[in-house]
């Protein structure tokens, strides 16, 4: 039977433990508050009373606690440190790139194989095709656990041996997501201002999201190749739309924080001389 240890049984750790139990894994668990293991134990998991014992129970341990400071607090005990030598650790707590580098160096010093991961999914999506987890660090650790990783997330790319790559990519994705949230909530106000249903807008965006993905892929390639001078969509063209957003907010008497912010960003890029270049030229102003 395939075995894994899961350290941290919050919403995310519990979701991963549940999925792996359903997929036939023997799951050894540890959590600071032991009562959180009760439901999992009823489903067939094993609760192990100490972290050192939990690490020794399987070749691979997944650590999924609030943050890297908590991961360090959990693992930085003599018994746990000694148990880590020759074992594999998958860190799935969220952290910064520097925290990933520091944690990776600490694990290496203790003789553990270290794979850093960043989860881009909610607990209820774990085990589904739409769940995404980014990995970087030890390729051997990724290969050794590929079967288990595939059971946790439909999209789980290995981003390279640079240990910070997963958390950097996760933060880049989150920057995109949070800008999309702000845009969506302003969009919700636009819909409301004309008496339209906001849930229809959510459905519409879900339907056209492959097109949005294609656009972002294209802009990423433009930045990578530094080829801004043959625009499909110029900064000037985008500015016309932003002015329309400002006009609509004024006409509807609604909050205009988002279009004011967008207008400031795009104006700066146009002042820098990029108006007739591809919209991605805004990155040159950000640099």
Instruction: Name the minimum Å distance from CB 102 to ligand NAP.
Output: 16
> Which one of residues 93, 138, 168, 234 is an interface residue with ligand NAP (CB under 6 A)?
93
Q: Which residues have C-beta within 8 Å of that of residue 206, sequence separation ≥ 6? A: none
Question: Six-digit token pair at 142?
Answer: 């990724």
| 32-51 binders of ligand NAP (CB under 6 A) | 32-33, 36
Phi first, then psi: give them for residue 275, nearest 5 degrees. -55, -35
Instruction: Name the minimum Å distance from CB 38 to ligand NAP.
Output: 12
CA angle 93, 114, 59 (to 5 degrees): 100
Q: Is 70 or 238 the residue whose CB approaches ligand NAP more closely?
A: 70
> Which one of residues 90, 119, 163, 239 is an interface residue with ligand NAP (CB under 6 A)?
119
Instruction: State yes or no: residue 72 binds ligand NAP (CB under 6 A).
Output: no
| Residue where the block lists tokens 């999209």 | 155
Q: What is the spatial distance between Cα 25 and Cα 130, in angstroms, rounded to a whole number? A: 22
Q: Is 92 or 249 the residue whose CB approaches ligand NAP more closely?
A: 92
| 3-22 binders of ligand NAP (CB under 6 A) | 8-13
> Which one of residues 48, 62, 64, 279 is an interface residue with ligand NAP (CB under 6 A)?
64
Strand order in the sheet with 60-63: 46-47, 26-30, 3-7, 60-63, 88-91, 113-120, 132-137
Window contacting ligand NAP (CB under 6 A); options: 51-59, 65-73, 139-147, 207-215: 65-73
The interface mask with ligand NAP, positions 152-191, x = CB under 6 A, is ----------------------------------------
Instruction: Name the minimum Å distance from CB 105 to ligand NAP.
Output: 20
Window contacting ligand NAP (CB under 6 A); options: 69-77, 148-156, 241-249, 252-260: 69-77
Instruction: Name the minimum Å distance from CB 148 to ligand NAP.
Output: 17
Buried b (16+ CB within 10 A) or exposed e, 189-221: bbeeeeeeeeeeeeeeeeeeeeeeeeeeeebee
Q: What are the residues facing 234 on neighbouring strands?
A: 278
Q: Which residues have C-beta within 8 Å of that of residue 8, sequence separation ≥ 6? A: 30, 31, 62, 63, 64, 65, 70, 74, 93
SS3 assignment, position 156: coil
Instruction: Name the minimum Å distance from CB 113 to ligand NAP.
Output: 21
Which of the 8 DSSP states describes residue 26?
E
Contact predicate 123/12, CB 8 Å: yes
Instruction: Name the minimum Å distance from CB 29 to ligand NAP.
Output: 10
User: Which residues would be at the binding site for ligand NAP (CB under 6 A)?
Assistant: 8-13, 31-33, 36, 64-67, 70, 73-74, 93-94, 119, 122-123
């Amino acid at each position: 039977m395939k075995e894994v240890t899961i350290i941290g049984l919050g919403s995310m750790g519990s979701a991963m433990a549940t999925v792996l139990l359903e997929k036939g894994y023997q799951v050894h668990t540890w959590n600071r508050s032991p009562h959180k293991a009760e439901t999992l134990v009823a489903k067939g998991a094993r609760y192990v009373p100490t972290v050192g014992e939990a690490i020794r129970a399987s070749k691979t341990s997944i650590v999924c606690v609030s943050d890297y400071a908590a991961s360090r607090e959990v693992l930085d005990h003599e018994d746990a440190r000694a148990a880590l030598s020759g074992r594999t650790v998958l860190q799935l707590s969220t952290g910064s790139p520097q925290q990933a580098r520091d944690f990776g160096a600490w694990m290496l010093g203790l003789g553990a194989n270290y794979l850093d991961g960043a989860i881009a999914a909610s607990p209820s999506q774990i085990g589904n095709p739409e769940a995404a987890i980014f990995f970087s660090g030890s390729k051997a650790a990724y290969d050794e656990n590929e079967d288990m990783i595939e059971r946790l997330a439909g999209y789980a790319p290995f981003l390279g041996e640079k240990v910070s790559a997963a958390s950097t990519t996760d933060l880049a994705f989150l920057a995109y997501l949070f800008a999309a949230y702000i845009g969506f909530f302003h969009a919700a106000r636009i819909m409301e201002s004309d008496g339209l249903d906001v849930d229809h807008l959510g459905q519409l965006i879900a339907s056209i999201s492959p097109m949005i993905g294609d656009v972002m892929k294209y802009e990423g390639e433009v930045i990578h190749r530094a080829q801004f001078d043959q625009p499909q969509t110029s900064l000037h063209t985008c500015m016309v739309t932003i002015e329309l957003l400002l006009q609509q907010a004024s006409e509807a008497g609604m909050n205009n924080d988002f279009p004011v912010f967008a207008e400031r960003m795009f104006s700066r890029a146009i002042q820098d001389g990029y108006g007739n270049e591809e919209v991605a030229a805004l990155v040159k102003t950000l640099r």
